[in-house]
Amino acid sequence: ILMLLGMARTAEACAPKFGEVVLRDDYAVIAIIWQADGTARVADLKTDSSYRLIILPQIAAEAIRARMAYLRGLGYTDAQIQDMPVVSSERDATTQARPAELSAFLLGILTRTMHPDDDYWDTVKMQMTQEPDMDAYGIPSTDVTRRSRCSELCNGCGMDPLLVDAMMGHAPPKGDTANRDNYLRQPDNWPIVASMTERIVYDPERTTNPAFAQTHLAPGGVRQIQTGKHWLFLPRRRTVHPPDRGTDV
């Protein structure tokens, strides 16, 4: 979830603890100030821009709460959970996962559920080789989640590309005065950003994206749906009469 909805790098996703998460009813916020180096946490990120906030939608907040409830069920106290990693090793809930473990786990899910054919993965590998996304140490990364979600936020959700860059930890282009990193640091904006990231959640009960939040129109009705910066107008249903004989339709 941290990678798919927050565009965190693999090593960044392994580092946060539950006590560092700002948890609200309809969103969650995590400061990316650490990354995992094996099972250790280090405050050594790629650039100054990599130190940032990621804002996660409601489904992420629900998942974090569910994980904490599961740990309570195992007998851990609230104080213990606060000091535990959000992403833990498979065999020890008190130890953060290694980035390689998380990457292999996620790749296994993608392989089984999305594109099992070799042609797809050959294309992905070719793209990552030609245009690599660097990890926090400047080493080419094989992670495809950040790139795909970045495209969806920009093209499918109407999010400002500079804001997406700030969430991904990219440096702003020269001459840019928008200061999207400062925008992300203002709590009043967190619900706004969360509602944007919610649009890439493929669950009709947890998204505001009209592609997944179904709208039913009664005959003769009209409704307008807000889609990011635009409005989609759904016209009234017209009565269609049978065409005259010989007319092509």
Sheet holding 52-56, edge to edge: 21-23, 28-32, 52-56
The residue assigned the tokens 């995992």 is 36
Strands 40-42 and 52-56: unpaired
Query: Could you tell me the two tokens for 122?
Result: 């050959």
Residues in the chain with pLDDT < 70? 113-118, 120-121, 123-125, 127-145, 147, 156, 204, 208-218, 220-249
Residue 185 is predicted with a pLDDT of: 93
116 and 110 Cβ atoms separated by less than 8 Å: no
Instruction: Give strand ranges (E) for the chain.
Output: 21-23, 28-32, 35-37, 40-42, 52-56, 88-89, 92-96, 133-134, 140-141, 223-227, 230-234
Looking at the chain, the whole-number percentage of residues with pLDDT higher than 70 is 67
90 and 101 Cβ atoms separated by less than 8 Å: yes
